[in-house]
A and B are shown apart, each in its own frame.
Chain A
Amino acid sequence: MSIDTETARKVAKLARIKVEDDALPALAAEFSNILGFIEQLNEVDVDGVEPMTSVTPQRLYRRDDVVTDGDQPEQVLKNAPDAREGFFAVPKVVE
């Protein structure tokens, strides 16, 4: 499977990563390489093999329904470029 520069542009846009036009062909080639490798893996017969979800055999850890966190608005907002009246302030996003 080969990825063209338009697809590379779209993927970059969806990921909100700015890629200059002249960098797109190289990026597309890299994507194509990765997908080529995955296609190679697809050739392996995995019929009857359960997908591995973890390297160690363990059960999903669960917490009890108890409030143990929060009450730290100053910490939460500390790295915000702009915060007002306890809110994150961002450029207007409504259409």
Chain B
Amino acid sequence: MLDLTYDAPKPKVIAGAKHDWELVIGLEVHAQVATKAKLFSGASTQFGAEPNSNVAFVDAGMPGMLPVINEGCVAQAVKTGLGLKAQINLYSAFDRKNYFYPDLPQGYQISQLYHPIVGEGEVLVEMGPGPHDGTARVVRIERIHLEQDAGKSIHDMDPNMSFVDLNRTGVALMEIVSRPDIRGPEEAAAYVSKLRQIMRYLGTCDGNMQNGNLRADVNVSICRPGAYEKYQETQDFSHLGTRCEIKNMNSLRFIQAAIEYEARRQIAIVEDGGEVVQETRLYDPDKNETRSMRSKEEAHDYRYFPDPDLLPLEIEQAWVDDIAASLPELPDEKKARFIKDFGLSDYDASVLTADTDNASFFEAVAEGRDGKLAANWVINELFGRLKKDDREITDSPVTPDQLGGVIALISKGDISGKIAKDLFEIVYTEGGDPAVIVEERGMKQVTDMGAIEAAVDEIIAANPDQVAKAKENPKLAGWFVGQVMKATGGKANPKAVNELIAKKLAG
């Protein structure tokens, strides 16, 4: 069971010319498995190598070569399944999906159609910030199967030729198939982000969308309000519209734009009395439209059959249990713990658990200190400052110890919040131990009441006009506070100053 509970977000409604329409979306996410070697060969998976240098003869489809499965890929798929609270199938098997393309030298992709390694699971997809803030969708996972990636074709190096690089050929992919539980473009993007986050926690996929190691095929259909609920009751797809599949998207922004465009296209067809044709479409980000890949339709007769080169993949429950025992704390658990143990808001906990680097930095800062204060400083000051310099948390010039030192000084009352910001900037740019800097540079808050009182008296004596005005309008007391803070170089305890001035002006 999940510890965090939220209401489900409202489905997105698009107003057509005649009716309102809702969206129904399912995703197939292709995640490159983080391993050193490929799924069935000993060639490297390293991104950015010289063309065709990470290629074994089996990847190139040379005659007589046989695939031998990489156990590391199997372990990573099992780990991902466990992370998605899914059923692990101890028996799975590989099938051939047959089609011809220059970057697929075998003439088929080895995949798992009939017996995938992972069965049903679920993902909690939190929404927001935005219109759905504070809600979350539980998206059911139908299956995850292991399969080979294809090579890369480059079409723009020569006017008449396509160039083929087989480095990616045979790299292991996990295809994560969701149920049609997603009800809007933002939800689809949030779902992909959440999968990415979980897999990065697990270390099973780098999730670098720009390098193409996380890509999504998106199935979109439209229905009238009320129809989806009938589908939910009966699991009967006839209540839903005909779906179109938008292939191969590697950007969250494009996923959202493509869904939006595709839904409006389908609404226009149906309201015009036409019928949506089930087909595969491509999204063109330059024109912001989807277009049919009709010429490939015929190739969709994949003639799947069990791969005779590979025995079924049988794994033992004990091995799965070992992997389960090695799972790290996952995002949902970590977030729930941050809320409970450190008293953080849902939002702050989400930000701090977005990735493991953020989370461990925060934990090191908060250890034995005020958790809420630590969260404020990490999120507002540190993240803000890093963003300004375009730096990652992993190369922060301020260590958790140093930031923790600043926070400890605030908690002790040694420095005011304003001085703390100056101190943070010094630590960020010059380094050093915050406690030592405060001593050496005389930044310590003045808590000596005598000294503060002297400063207050001096300001009051020097400004009789202001005193007269402040007696009529107590709101003007703030001016005196500012003057005292200025006179003491910002080091006076603001609370003490406030109290003293109120007392003196009233007297």
Contacts and interface: CB of A to CB of B under 8 A. Distances in A.
- A and B associate: yes
Contacts of B313: 60
Main secondary structure of the interface of A (DSSP, over half): loop
Contacts of A54: 311
A68 interface: yes
A73 B164 CA distance: 12
Main secondary structure of the interface of B (DSSP, over half): loop
A60 B160 CA distance: 44
Given A63-B68, A70-B54, A53 B301 contact: no
Contacts of B68: 61-63
B453 to A, nearest CB: 71
B303 interface: yes
A73 B311 contact: no
B73 interface: yes
Interface string B299-328: 101010000001111100000000000000
A68 B68 CA distance: 12
Interface in B160-207: 160-166
Contacts of B426: none
A63 to B, nearest CB: 5
B37 A76 contact: no
Given A62-B74, A70-B44, A76 B311 contact: no
A32 B57 CA distance: 37
A73 B54 CA distance: 8
Contacts of B74: 62
Contact of B155 (A66, A84, A88, A92): A92
A3 to B, nearest CB: 14
A16 B99 CA distance: 10
B411 interface: no
Contacts of A91: 160-162
A90 interface: yes
A14 interface: yes
Interface string B272-307: 000000000000000000000101001101010000
Interface string A40-55: 0000000000000110
A59 interface: yes
Interface in A6-44: 10, 13-14, 16
Interface string A53-95: 1100011111111111111110111000010111111111111
A84 B154 CA distance: 12
A63 B161 contact: no
B301 A14 contact: yes
A53 B162 CA distance: 40
Interface residues of B, number: 52
A10 B153 CA distance: 27
Interface stretch (B45-53, B130-138, B233-241, B412-420): B45-53
A88 B70 contact: no
B35 interface: yes
Given A86-B52, A88-B164, A89-B161, A65 B70 contact: yes
Given A68-B42, A73-B52, A76-B52, A93 B155 contact: yes
A95 B291 CA distance: 12
Contacts of A90: 102, 161-164
B166 A88 contact: yes
Contacts of B299: 14
Interface in B1-52: 35-37, 41-44, 50-52
Given A14-B303, A62-B74, A66-B36, A88 B102 contact: yes
A58 B163 contact: no
Contacts of B98: 14
B457 interface: no
A57 to B, nearest CB: 10
Interface of B: 35-37, 41-44, 50-57, 60, 68-74, 93, 98, 100-102, 153-155, 157-166, 293, 295, 298-299, 301, 303, 310-314
23 contacts: A10-B301, A13-B298, A14-B299, A59-B314, A60-B311, A62-B69, A63-B42, A64-B70, A66-B42, A67-B36, A68-B42, A69-B42, A70-B55, A72-B55, A73-B52, A73-B55, A84-B161, A85-B163, A88-B163, A88-B165, A91-B160, A91-B161, A94-B162
> Which 9 pairs, one residue from A and one from B, show the smallest C-beta to C-beta distance?
A65-B72, A68-B42, A87-B163, A69-B42, A69-B56, A70-B43, A86-B51, A88-B164, A62-B71
